[in-house]
Structure 1
Amino acid sequence: MLQVLEFTSDNVIATKADNQLKAGDYEKLHPIVHNILTNGKKVRWYLEIARFEEWSDDPFLQCISHADDFEKICCVGANEDDKRIISLLQPFKNAQVRFYTIENKKAAETWIKEN
């Protein structure tokens, strides 16, 4: 399940995922992504992972449109083991991708917002 967080604004989409991500979760993001692109900006995605197990069998990554329009992706996980999520973000080949542990959550929020 994917929850949109309150610091979503401008061209930053802030989300928190609990467990698995499914194609239906991207449907929540798509209108926000489209709005950012309509305003002539690139998308920045903050993804906090409560308990990362894996992507579901549902093709979450395959349904993502506009992957080339993401400029930054910040993944925040409970521990260093969650860093493996970065290898799954290959469709976002133009984006800068960083991983932070939950202890460094504020640094992650700062990075995703800065120019």
Structure 2
Amino acid sequence: MIRIKNVEKSNLISASISGKITKEDIEKIHPLIHNIVKNGNKVNFFFELVNFKGYDLKGLWEDLKVDTAHISDYGKMAFVGEKEWQEWAAKATDFFTSSEVKYFDFTEKEEAKRWILNQ
């Protein structure tokens, strides 16, 4: 499940992610990406991973389609998590994108916020 959080920065999508990501979750984020891009901005992401279990099959497929369509529209990505495999996933994301991607442990959440908000 993806729960979108309100933020003051117009080019930032902030969300808490738990359980498995579904196609419907990705469909909530896609219009937000379009709104940022149509204003000529790169999209930054701040994701808190709490009891995150990955994707269901349709969610993974939808995320891959959205990422493929928008990969050049992404700016910075901050992942705040609790497990070593989440750090590996963030590093894999960094490898496949031109975005600046960083993983932070929950103890570093405030540092992650400072990093994503400073352009």
When the two structures are superposed, what TM-score results if normalisation uses the length of structure 2? 0.84
Name the structure 2 match of 1:84: 88
Name the structure 1 match of 2:44: 44
Query: 1:81: Cα distance to partner?
Result: 4.0
Picking from 67, 70, 74, the partner of 1:66 is 70
Paired AA for residue 65 in structure 2: C
Name the structure 1 match of 2:53: 53
Q: Distance in 1 between matches of 2:81 and 2:18?
A: 11
Query: 1:8: Cα distance to partner?
Result: 5.7
- The alignment yields a C-alpha RMSD, in angstroms, of 2.0
When the two structures are superposed, what TM-score results if normalisation uses the length of structure 1? 0.87
Matched residue SS, 2:45? strand
The 3 A distance-change label for structure 1 pair 98 and 106 is: same
Q: Distance in 1 between matches of 2:23 and 2:100?
A: 23
2:83 matches 1:94? no
Number of residue pairs matched by the alignment = 115
The unaligned stretches of length 5 or more in structure 2 are none
Matched residue SS, 2:57? coil
Matched residue SS, 1:7? coil
The unaligned stretches of length 5 or more in structure 1 are none
Structure with greater helix percent: 2
Does the aligned pair in 2 maintain the 1:8–1:14 contact within 8 Å?
A: no
Q: Distance in 2 between matches of 1:102 and 1:8?
A: 22
> In the TM superposition, what whole-angstrom CA distance separates every residue of 1:77-103 from its partner, at most 9, and x where no partner exists?
024342132155369511111000111
Name the structure 2 match of 1:75: 79
Deviant stretches of 4+, over 6 Å:
none
